[in-house]
């Protein structure tokens, strides 16, 4: 099976009170696990594709068999998106960007608060389920985008640096319908050390 559920690098209680332990347990252990299972099932009869990483599959999504393409978009996308999501959260990381990323944020958005506002705005405007992202393009330019469902920015040739899940399963147990409150709280658990690293690679 090509994909496995990555372990969290921190306890499910680590992001309290901003992200509650029950949400983390279900989100990682049930939702992300289902994307992994369904991605593996989609690839079960496509052995030539099983050696590709999730990112490489998403980069080449238009070359994959049409019969499984939407399943790969949903589930390999879901796997890649959530893997990044767990990595960019954590207690103990830097609470503001540094280095080249900090400079690029200042020159592109003005300051960090304006970037946060743009990501929150894109997340609020995402109707239904999806993600709000900070991405870089091939030239290194930064952009804020939103994608529906589990569509990955990688499918557009973009590199996701930071993404916030705005599916209701990411926040409903604690925040119910208050997506704006979830987004405001979420910034408290962003690990900018990892986001800056994503920009550098
Ligand atoms: Mn999710």
- How far away, in angstroms, is 92 Cα from ligand 1 center? 23
| Per-chain residues with Cβ under 5 A from ion ligand 1 | 165, 167
Specify the pLDDT at position 92: 77
Instruction: Give the chain's mean pLDDT.
Output: 96
- How far away, in angstroms, is 80 Cα from ligand 1 center? 11
Mean pLDDT confidence for 167-181: 98
- How far away, in angstroms, is 153 Cα from ligand 1 center? 15
- Asked if residue 91 has pLDDT above 90, the reply is no
Closest CA to 43 of 100, 3, 84: 3
Closest CA to 160 of 58, 35, 29, 40: 58
- How far away, in angstroms, is 25 Cα from ligand 1 center? 12
- How far away, in angstroms, is 107 Cα from ligand 1 center? 31
> In the structure encoding, which two tokens stand for residue 104, read together?
């690029």
Alpha helices in the chain (DSSP H): 21-26, 33-43, 54-59, 66-87, 99-109, 112-125, 172-175, 179-186, 192-200
Lowest mean pLDDT among 97-101, 113-117, 142-146: 97-101
- How far away, in angstroms, is 62 Cα from ligand 1 center? 24
Binned at pLDDT 50, 70 and 90, residue 1 comes out as: confident
Specify the pLDDT at position 201: 65
- How far away, in angstroms, is 57 Cα from ligand 1 center? 20
Mean pLDDT confidence for 17-39: 98
Question: Do the beta carbons of residue 27 and residue 169 sit within 8 Å?
Answer: yes
């Amino acid at each position: 099976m090509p994909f496995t559920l990555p372990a969290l690098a921190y306890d499910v209680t680590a992001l309290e009170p901003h992200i509650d332990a029950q949400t983390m347990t279900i989100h990682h252990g049930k939702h992300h696990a289902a994307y992994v299972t369904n991605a593996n099932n989609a690839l079960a009869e496509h052995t030539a594709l099983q050696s590709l990483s999730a990112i490489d599959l998403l980069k080449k999504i238009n070359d994959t068999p049409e019969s499984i393409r939407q399943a790969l978009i949903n589930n390999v996308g879901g796997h890649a998106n959530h893997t990044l999501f767990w990595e960019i959260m954590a207690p103990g990381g830097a609470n503001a960007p540094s280095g080249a990323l900090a400079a690029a944020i200042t020159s592109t958005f003005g300051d960090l608060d304006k970037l946060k506002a743009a990501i929150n705005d894109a997340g609020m405007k995402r109707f239904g389920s999806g993600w709000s992202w900070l991405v870089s393009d091939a030239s290194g330019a930064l952009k804020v985008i939103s994608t529906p469902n589990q569509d990955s920015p990688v499918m557009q040739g973009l590199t996701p640096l930071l993404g916030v899940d705005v599916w209701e399963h990411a926040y409903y147990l604690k925040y119910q319908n208050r997506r704006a409150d979830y987004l405001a709280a979420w910034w408290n658990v962003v690990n900018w050390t990892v986001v800056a690293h994503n920009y550098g690679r």
